[in-house]
Amino acid sequence: MIELRTPAEIEEMRPAGRFVAEVLTRLSAEAAVGVNLLELDAIAHQMIRDRGAVSSYIDYHPSFGASPFGKVLCTSVNDAVLHGLPFDYRLRDGDLLSLDFAVAVDGWVSDSAVSIIVGRERPEDRRLIDVTSAALDAGIQAATTGSKVGDISAAISAVATAAGYSINTDFGGHGVGRTMHGDPHVPNDGRAGRGFPLRPGLVIAVEPWFLETTDEIYTDRDGWTLRSADGSRGAHMEHTIAITDDGPIVLTARG
């Protein structure tokens, strides 16, 4: 079911968005050569406890997950692009790291993701991240009252295809509210003018993710982490936004 939020409810959602942004900013600064993925998860876990927030991940067990997730943060490294389950791995120079984080604050959820390069950059990784970020910006700009979900999808895919990246539509954006995942689904490829109409009060996560040379993925043996079929690297960007008559509000904007 698709729910529309009142202006007052959108204001109530702002603290969750600010907290998610704060955590991702902190983790991006902490992610350095030699830092363990489990250390990043522990930092996020402590920040959740200190804030009195509730993790949207730790007990999450959808049909595509092998078991409850068990961690509070997704850490996807290099050929991993989504749902990366933190494990005993120390970041290396040149790693491409995607961080995805969602919590509830006072009953309202926000969800966001960012990709960064640890240490020295590979030009191919910088381009992939920049294109994914540009696709996120384009999707948000298309999220205006009177448009359709397909307009967001088309804006994202236009950026990706112009850069030569193919698009997987198995996973994409989604509604956000009292729970992390709700309707409508917001695919990263679609036709402009199609789909659910964007109305004031609709809160969604816009979530482009691309792989360098494929759109095929498989699930790692951990039962969660999604990796590219050909070993190429991936990038993932996401913001939770609210549709208003005055344009989209990015609830998870960082700095």
Write the CA distances from 76 to 22, 26, 56, 146, 177, integer angstroms: 19, 17, 17, 35, 25
- Is 207 marked within a binding site? yes
Question: Among residues 138, 253, 226, which one has the least CA distance to residue 186?
Answer: 138
Cβ contact 139:156 at 8 Å = yes
Q: Which of 45, 80, 78, 83 is nearest to 67 (CA)?
A: 83
Asked if 47 and 133 count as a contact pair (C-beta separation under 8 A), the reply is no
Query: Is residue 81 within 8 Å of 93, Cβ to Cβ?
Result: no
124 contact partners, CB below 8 Å, separation of at least 6: 212, 233
The reply, when asked if residue 111 is annotated as ligand binding, is yes
Distances from the Cα of 21 to the Cα of 27, 78, 112, angstroms: 10, 22, 7
9 is in an annotated binding site: no
45 is in an annotated binding site: no
Q: Is 95 annotated as a binding residue?
A: no
- Side chain identity at 197, as an amino acid letter? P
Q: How many residues would you count in the chain?
A: 255
User: To which H or E segment does residue 14 belong?
Assistant: helix 7-30
Q: Which long-range contacts (CB under 8 A, 24 or more apart) does 41-45 make?
A: 41/71, 41/72, 41/73, 41/75, 41/86, 44/72, 44/73, 44/101, 45/72, 45/73
Known binding-site positions for substrate: 83, 181
Known binding-site positions: 83, 100, 111, 174, 181, 207, 238
Known binding-site positions for a divalent metal cation: 100, 111, 174, 207, 238
